[in-house]
Amino acid sequence: MLAIKQNLLTALATELETLLPGAGARAAFESPKVAAHGDFASTAAMQLAKPLGKNPRQVAEALRESLLKTAVYCQWVEAIDIAGPGYMNIKLKPAAKQEVLREILSAKNTFGNQVPLHKKMMVEFVSANPTGPLHVGHGRQAALGDTICNLYQTQGWDVYREFYYNDAGVQIATLTTSTQLRGKGVKPGDKDWPEASYAGEYIADIAADFIAKKTVQADDRSTTASGDLDDAASVREFAVAYLRREQDLDLQAFSVIFDNYYLESSLYSDGLVDKAVALLQAAGKTYEQDGALWLKSTDYGDDKDRVMRKSAPTDAPDQAPQYTYFVPDVAYHITKWQRGFAKAVNIQGTDHHGTIARVRAGLQAANVGIPQGYPDYVLHTMVRVMKGGEEVKISKRAGSYVTLRDLIEWTSKDAVRFFLLSRKPDTEYIFDVDLAVAKNNDNPVYYVQYAHARICSVLNTWTGSDSSKLSLLTNADLSPLTSPQALALMLQLAKYPEMLTSAAHDFAPHDVTFYLRDLAACYHSYYDAERILVDDEQVKLARLSLVAATAQVIRNGLAVLGVSAPEKM
């Protein structure tokens, strides 16, 4: 049906071009506002009426007459109805909708995928400093980032996942001190416990393992503790590695795997921050004022110029220059461009909104060929957790927030991913733990997975122990599929590829969850309307083809979300 739609569009473009040279570019299909009115709609006649100096209905009538004479419209279109001031509602023949089943059963898990673009893109997400367990906000970011990666992979991009973090900042110093104190017996609440220290029970675990001289292995680092709590460097290295390993375990449980971990500290040790500053100075986009170095970010749409390097404190005039936090961000994104990533996407919390203009300004000012609007940003709000009708704010392990691991243990990886992806990223989300474990139609992930399991049960009943029978469906006669429920289900299946393209373009993983819920609803309606395993062999094979294709698309969509498609529930 995808090829059919494209051929219909091509014919429409040709006829528009005949009516008015240059109008072929306006050829496009919309979804009718009322499904019963047709399968595709076009407003082309209304757009051409004024330049042609004609009544839009007259243009629509002429266009309908010419289209219905073309071979492709004769073959696949049942009727073209004119509505209102000139809307054209196109109704497809059942055979056109049935074609999508052959496309799905042939392409299988690649249905909906576009051809390779041979372009590289990077998605940077989670990027949590190793100072504690990942919280539910990190979970939302992990689900968003990983699914956006999956979406762009379906669109032909070579996608690279990166985790960026700082292992040497103020927060890491606080982690080091907190670990030393717990190791020496000082606890939260004691008079010697600093208010700013990390109070979670995980700090005591780190201290105990450090004293025991254990070795920890994370994805990107490994270290063995010295056991000497006065050795701050060893404590820091061990604590960072320990928490990086904890993050790895959380992410593995969430089915998220990164291609690379990038250290903010390396931007300084490799001289990349100084090189970025030198580029900005050489481009004439900086100036000195009040002892500070400023970026002319207003030249690029920022509301004010930004400090790049702070002035030295009056009590320490010889102190090394301190760059503001957006400067290493500029240096980091220059490396992304230089590493060949034509597109870069950052998944961050809404509290990072203020950094967008200054980072993009710095990248433009550096004059290294980076296009405007680089990188893209997807900002998300935090997540509130409800359990037993009450909001949960404290985790015993973290000491101050609900962790991603808590959510996974209370529900499941599938439920957490599906739920955290079911709203627009910038929309506040309340995660209802009780709903996430409910086995009913109110639970959206259960509803979708149950549709898949229901289909698998039908298929398994038919095949028995002979799975080779599934090959019969690829070439089955689909002509019996003419009921309203079957036609509606096939039309919903045909929307899948365009939905993927739109969801990727708009950074909208929630569109996939909405689509799957609608698809599951279409399937359940069909299942309730028509018995599948009937005696008539021709009808049975046609109906089995329809449900097998439906199961395949559900599997494909759930895979994009990182959610499993169980065969039994």
State how far the Cα of 231 lies from the Cα of 237, in Å rounded to an integer: 10
Beta strand pairing call for 429-432 and 383-387? parallel
Exposure class string for 476-514: b at 16+ Cβ within 10 A, else e: bebebbeeebbbbbbbbbbbbbebbeebbeebbbbbbbe
SS3 8: helix
Beta strand pairing call for 40-42 and 87-92? antiparallel
Backbone phi and psi for residue 123, each to the nearest 5 degrees, phi listed first? -115, 120
| 436 close to 411: Cβ distance less than 8 angstroms | yes
Q: What residues have CB less than 8 Å from 500, skipping those under 6 apart? A: 112, 113, 151, 154, 155, 512, 560
For the chain, the structural domain boundaries read 2-92, 170-256, 270-379, 441-561
SS3 354: coil
> What DSSP letter does each residue of 296-336 carry, written as one string?
-GGGGT-SS-EEEEPPPPTT-TTSPP-B-THHHHHHHHHHH
Tokens of 184: 């020496």
State how far the Cα of 218 lies from the Cα of 261, in Å rounded to an integer: 11
Superfamily of domain 441-561: Isoleucyl-tRNA Synthetase; Domain 1 (1.10.730.10)
| Angle at which helices 484-494 and 496-505 cross, to 10° | 40
Sign of the C-alpha dihedral, residues 122, 128, 133, 139?
Answer: negative
Domain 270-379 top-level CATH class: alpha beta
State how far the Cα of 362 lies from the Cα of 337, in Å rounded to an integer: 13
pLDDT, mean of each 10-residue run, the chain (569 residues): 90 95 92 86 93 93 96 96 93 95 97 97 97 94 98 98 93 96 95 91 96 97 97 97 96 96 95 96 95 94 93 67 90 98 97 93 96 97 94 73 93 98 95 97 97 97 91 95 96 96 98 98 97 97 98 98 97
C-alpha gyration radius of the chain: 29
pLDDT, position 398: 64
Please give the single-letter amino acid code of residue 262: Y
Sign of the C-alpha dihedral, residues 191, 197, 202, 208?
Answer: negative
- Assessment of whether the complete model's pTM goes beyond 0.95: no
Please give the single-letter amino acid code of residue 5: K
State how far the Cα of 362 lies from the Cα of 279, in Å rounded to an integer: 10
CA 18 to chain centre: 42
Nearest residue to 532 via CA among 523, 544, 520: 544
Beta strand pairing call for 260-263 and 158-165? parallel
Superfamily of domain 2-92: Arginyl tRNA synthetase N-terminal domain (3.30.1360.70)
State how far the Cα of 188 lies from the Cα of 24, in Å rounded to an integer: 71
Q: What residues have CB less than 8 Å from 49, skipping those under 6 apart? A: 55, 56, 58, 59, 86
Tokens of 196: 């700013």
